[in-house]
Chains A and B, each alone.
Chain A
Amino acid sequence: MKVKLTIWRQKNPDSKGQFITYPVDVVNGEMSMLECLDVLNETLMGRGEEPVAFEHDCREGICGSCGFMINGIAHGPLPATTVCQLTMRHFKDGDELVLEPWRSRSFPLVKDLVVDRRSFDRIIQAGGYVSVSTGNAPDGNAIPVGKEIADRAMDAAACIGCGACVAACPNGSAALFTGAKIAHLGILPQGKPEQDRRAVRMVAQMNVEGFGSCTNIGECTGVCPKEIPLEEIARMNRDYLLGAWRERGNVVTAIAPVTDWNFGEK
């Protein structure tokens, strides 16, 4: 099976990018999209050309490193799948696949298909944690958590922070990501004490990062490899509305967005 990969090539953040088409011989339909790019890169390196840069780590759909648009859909046409788990048998012989990086001003492009998603890290840094006392490990099951509550929290915690929600959103909103991160802690008793502050700070950081507004249309959840539901966005809105009122007397700080890279050569 042969496919044509039309890939966005861009040397660095400042240069002008363009699409370049590469014919790729897919040896095996069980190869993943990323393995297909590996094959292409071997060929390119063999010819002395620059390989296609793409982000990847676990290659089992749980780390959130990989991700790009395939023919206008984040993570490709298969639902609930990251590109590393997307096998080539889902495409037909002779298909042209257009691979494009996430497009968002809050995800500045680094190179080719790699974007800088540190804005997500800063949202987590702003409040996506629970404060725990140091010392001995607490006894297991010291805090009883109901099964349905644990399940709800786990569903939200499944978010891997890949950025597909932002990439798919016509408004470039990070509501689904921020919602999932606020919800998975706020649902659990361990996260309750900081619930208000967490929502206010994370929403503030999300806004400082320049993400767009949520229009509740659901494109994000459609492409989400973990199928995080829109419910988590409502959860964020509820926690934010209540938190903004209860925390009205407190000063909220945000972390200054830093978007430049040190490449080492300077």
Chain B
Amino acid sequence: MSTAVAGQRENRTPSFWQSTNGKKAVMAVTGAILFLFVVGHLAGNLQVFEGPAKINAYGHFLRTIGEILWAIRIILIVCVVLHIVATVQLALLNWKTRPVGYSRKKAINSSYADRTMYWSGPIVLAFVIFHLLQFTAGYIHPESQFIDGDIYHNIVAGFSVWWVSAWYIFSLLLLGFHMRHGLWSMFQSLGLNHPRHTPVLKQAALWITIVIVAGYISIPIGVLAGWVR
């Protein structure tokens, strides 16, 4: 058996965006920006525990900064689109890499969160769309009345419906899974890994995720438990 056919030089090589490594770098950067939003959004919304005046003033403040708010929104939308386009393109590539599958395959070294990024991502996206329609646009407000500008009322009325809260908590847990992997994976994709620091980073990713998810979930739980009314 010999290799009779010699390889020829081929000029067509993938550009930065076409390469898998480049796309992962884009996903890392956009993911990091979206993480910053998740932190900022939590910090703002925890003001609901300080009463109607505080959070409604915060909402009013966001609406008055006008151009800056739209600049942030556009950055976030661009990040979401790039993050998703890169993921979808890579997923389509990855699904083609094994035309004949294994009869059995064991995962021995990856976590549940690692393996379910393809599930947690789309579900969180569906949640974000629902969430925007409910609390930002006010198109969907099941079993409650949406009052533009009265954020406190909207939160309490919205989360008083048990399934809205359940869906919110479920989605936030999945966001947690997504962040558990993403928060350290973004460093890896950008080429930052260190034998001593990366284990610390992985632990930090877990605890940061727990704190953030607990913070978000405390809002519907607070409403359902009657602490926020």
Which residues in A have some Cβ–Cβ distance to B below 8 Å? 19, 69, 71-73, 98, 100, 103-106, 109, 118, 122, 125, 168, 170-173, 203-204, 206-208, 210-219, 221-223, 229-231, 233-242, 244, 251-258, 260-264
Contact = CB atoms under 8 A, between A and B. Distances in A.
- The 8 A-B residue pairs with the shortest CB-CB distance, nearest first, are A238-B191, A222-B109, A172-B97, A234-B193, A262-B4, A213-B20, A171-B94, A237-B191
Contact of A236 (B2, B11, B21): B21
Interface stretch (B99-107, B138-146, B172-180): B99-107
B108 A238 contact: no
A56 to B, nearest CB: 15
28 contacts: A72-B103, A72-B105, A103-B98, A103-B101, A104-B98, A170-B107, A172-B97, A173-B20, A206-B20, A207-B18, A208-B10, A211-B97, A212-B20, A213-B24, A213-B94, A214-B21, A214-B189, A215-B114, A218-B109, A218-B110, A218-B114, A236-B21, A238-B192, A240-B22, A242-B191, A254-B9, A255-B10, A262-B5
B1 A103 contact: no
Nearest to B184: A216
B215 to A, nearest CB: 26
A241 B13 contact: no
Nearest to B13: A204
A244 B19 CA distance: 11
Contact of A235 (B16, B181, B193): B193
Given A230-B193, A234-B192, 8 more contacts: A172-B94, A211-B20, A211-B97, A217-B115, A223-B109, A231-B198, A239-B191, A255-B9
Most chain B beta-carbon neighbours within 10 Å: one of A103, A104, A237, A261: A237
B185 interface: yes
Given A19-B103, A211-B97, A216-B189, A255 B8 contact: yes
Interface residues of B, number: 58
Nearest to A206: B20
A164 B184 CA distance: 24
Contact of B108 (A19, A203, A219, A242): A219
Contacts of A254: 9-13
B91 to A, nearest CB: 9
Nearest to B186: A216
A244 B219 CA distance: 45
B155 interface: no
Contacts of B90: 171, 212-213
A242 B192 CA distance: 12
